[in-house]
Structure 1
C-alpha cells in the first residue's frame, strides 16, 4: 500500500488488527496514552449485546430466548458454538450486528478529539471493507504458538478451542500481506514501547499533512 491511501474519513485513521492473543488491546492502550482516539469495535459489540443493549431485541427475535444468558446479555459461548457449526446462523448474526457496529463506530469516530483515530478491528482483514476505509493498516504480529498460550491463560480455553477460533480468522501471512505497518509482539511490554513511540511520530506527521491538505481546499 502507499503511504497514504484514500480513506472515506476527514481525519487520519489507522486500522489496528491482529489475531486473537496478539495483544491488540495492549497496543491500543499505549497509543491512547500518547493521545490517539481509540474506537474499539469489540467494545462496541459488547455494549450492543449487553443487558438492554440495542441489538438484543433483534437477536432474541432471530434466535429465541436461548440466545441470552441469565443477565439478559447475549450468551457468547452458546452463540460462538452455534456460528462455528452453522454458517447460516453466522450470516444471520452478522446481519444483525455488523450494521449496528458500523453505525456506532462512525459515530464514535466523528466525535474523536485525539491526534488521529485508531479503529481496533479484530477481523479487519476478513471483513473486506475496512482496508479501504482507513489510511493505514497496522498489524500486531506474534508467533501462532504464542497466541495459543496467551489465550489459554487469559480465557481459560483449551488448546483445541483456541485453534478453532484461530481457524476462523485470517492467517498470519494474510494479515501481514495487508499491513502498512507491523508491530512485533513476541516479547514483553518493554519491547513494544519503542515501536509504538516511533509509529506515533509517523502517524502524527501524516495527520498534520492531511490537516494541511484539507485546509488548502477550504
Structure 2
C-alpha cells in the first residue's frame, strides 16, 4: 500500500511545471525496474492505469533535440513502458494495442511509437503480443493517410522484421508498404519536406534491412525484383 501511495504522489508531481519531468520519470523508472529484492511490484489496478495513462500522454510525437531535457524525458518514459510491459504486461500492452484504434491520430501515433519501442526492447512483447500488433498494422497501413503516421508505420515494420516477427509471406507483404512509399507523392497539401522525409525513411529502411537482416535478404531481394517489373509499384 505504501508503494501505491508513493507512486501516486510521484505521478501528481507531473502537474507541477516547476519540477523537471525527467527527474520524476527517472524515479518512476527506478521503482518499476525489477530487482533481486523486489522482482515483482504490487500495484493495484487503479495505480497501474494511472501510470499508463499519464506516461502515455507524455510521449512525444516528434522529439525536439533543441530541447534536450524533453528528449531525455521522452526516452525515460519509454523505459518506464519497458518495465510496465514486463511487470504488468496485460494491462499495459492491451491498452496500447487498443489505442491503435483510437479516433484521434495523435493517440494512434503515440501507441505505435511505444509499441515499436517495445518490439525492439521487450521479449515479453515479442513472444506474446507481436502477432496482435502485426494484425493491427495490416489494417493501419491500408487506412492511415497522414505522412507522419506512415513514417511511424515504416519504423514499426522494420522493428518487427528485425526481431524476426515478420518472416512468412503473408506478413512479409507488409514490406511492400515500404517499397511503395519510396516514391509516394502524398496529398497536394503535404509539405515537400514531409514527403521527402518519408521517402528517405523508406529508402534507408530498405538499405538497413538488406545490409543487417540476413534472414530476410532473399525474400527482400525477390520483392524488390518484383517491384521493378510490376505496375502495382
* Alignment TM class, shorter chain as reference: 0.3 to 0.5
Q: Which has the higher strand share?
A: 1
**Which has the higher Rg, Structure 1 or Structure 2?**
2
TM-score when normalising by structure 1: 0.32
Q: Which has the higher helix share?
A: 2
